Amino acid sequence: MFLRHSLRSLAVVFLLVALVSVLYTPAIAQVAGQVPGDSLGATSDSEFWRGIRQGNAGQVSIPNAQAGILIQSEGDNWRAVRNGPLSAYGAVALLGMVIVVALFFAARGRIRVEAGLSNLTIERFSGIERFAHWLMAGSFIVLALTGLNLLYGRYLLIPVLGPEVFAAITELGKYTHNYLGFAFMVGLALSFVLWVVHNIPNRHDAVWLLRGGVLIWGGHPPAKKFNAGQKILFWLVMLGGLSVSLSGIALIFPFQTSFFADTFALLNGFGLPLPTQITPMEEQQLNQVWHTAMSLVLVVIIIAHIYIGSVGMEGAFDAMGNGEVDLNWAKEHHPLWVEEIEEKEAAQRHSPAE
């Protein structure tokens, strides 16, 4: 009786031990990096993890195919470029331009109207022209500040404001940036339509450029409504603005565009060996780097423009302020344009309709 009871207990214990060992053996094997059953399988663990680390895509049953990529290694490169050379060169360029403008002001002073103010005025920009300029300029300035905050705010503002205030400001700034981008595009398009005819290069531009414009040497090279320097600014703003707008749209609506693959394919038509198999994620990364780099270039240029359109040149701001400039200012900076206006007015005075 006792023997039978003991044997039964022993059998139960044996079964329990067998069960526990069956349950735990695979887990222990996996912790040790082995495939259950001690066989190596088709791929070794190191190959398997290397594949994941290098961005190999697995299969997923959800619609988001990108979820099949567990580690997206290009992101490391993108972050290194954004937080490294892009931020560093951008900061150098921005500070560099501020220093250049300050040195220029120290050396050249305010550019005066040589003949003195005449106190007679001539209309330089109509209401719609000023509206277009200020829509473009006002939105650009807010976009620049909110954009620069995304790039440099964490270094400059967190130590001063603390993380909570910085986070609140940055969130507000991000939404402002996204919506105001469209106002900038409208201002840009309107300015293009209104001014493109005045910005087609002509023979006077070469003379203007050779004589260094009024800025460096003084003197008054001939110019129509816009001089060569202004035409360069116009085309930089238009082409740079378009490029920043397109890359901005690609960032607001992610994974919908293939601007880089398309552009590279186009450029390859001229013999360049650029990659055209670009993943949606890489498109986003390229768009982000391009958007930032082009915006920094524009901001650097616009610092010089704001200087010359305000404190740097006597009488310039009025053109975009009330639309009227002093006649002597106009004759000195845009003599051919004044002649055109005066001829037009004379023709109107003598037209048979009057």
Q: How far is the CB of 300 from ligand HEM (least distance, A)?
A: 12
Question: Distance between CA atoms of 205 and 228, rounded to whole angstroms?
Answer: 5
Among 78, 113, 122, 124, binds ligand HEM (CB under 6 A): 124
Q: Is 329 in the site for ligand HEM (CB under 6 A)?
A: no
Among 98, 176, 317, 323, binds ligand HEM (CB under 6 A): 317
Q: How far is the CB of 140 from ligand HEM (least distance, A)?
A: 4
Question: Distance between CA atoms of 132 and 135, rounded to whole angstroms?
Answer: 5
3-state SS, residue 313: strand
3-state SS, residue 123: strand
218 φ, ψ to 5°? 80, -165
Cα-only R_g, the chain: 33
Among 113, 132, 135, 136, binds ligand HEM (CB under 6 A): 136
Q: Is 145 in the site for ligand HEM (CB under 6 A)?
A: no
Q: Which is nearer to ligand HEM, 53 or 198 (CB)?
A: 198
CA-based nearest residue to 308, from 201, 204, 225, 230 = 230
Question: Distance between CA atoms of 228 and 234, rounded to whole angstroms?
Answer: 10
Tell me how many residues contact ligand HEM (CB under 6 A). Answer: 21
3-state SS, residue 121: strand
Q: How far is the CB of 112 from ligand HEM (least distance, A)?
A: 16
Distance of CA 146 to the CA centre of its chain: 11
Among 86, 148, 237, 286, binds ligand HEM (CB under 6 A): 237
Question: Distance between CA atoms of 340 and 329, rounded to whole angstroms?
Answer: 16
Q: Is 316 in the site for ligand HEM (CB under 6 A)?
A: yes
Residues 290-309 that bind ligand HEM (CB under 6 A): 302, 305-306, 309
Question: Distance between CA atoms of 333 and 230, rounded to whole angstroms?
Answer: 11
Instruction: Indicate the helix (H) or strand (E) that contains 42.
Output: none
Q: Which is nearer to ligand HEM, 286 or 319 (CB)?
A: 319
Q: Which is nearer to ligand HEM, 260 or 329 (CB)?
A: 329
Amino acid at 79: R
Among 78, 166, 208, 226, binds ligand HEM (CB under 6 A): 226
Q: Which is nearer to ligand HEM, 259 or 317 (CB)?
A: 317
Which residues contact ligand HEM by CB under 6 A? 124, 133, 136-137, 140-141, 191, 226, 230, 233-234, 237, 302, 305-306, 309-310, 316-317, 319-320
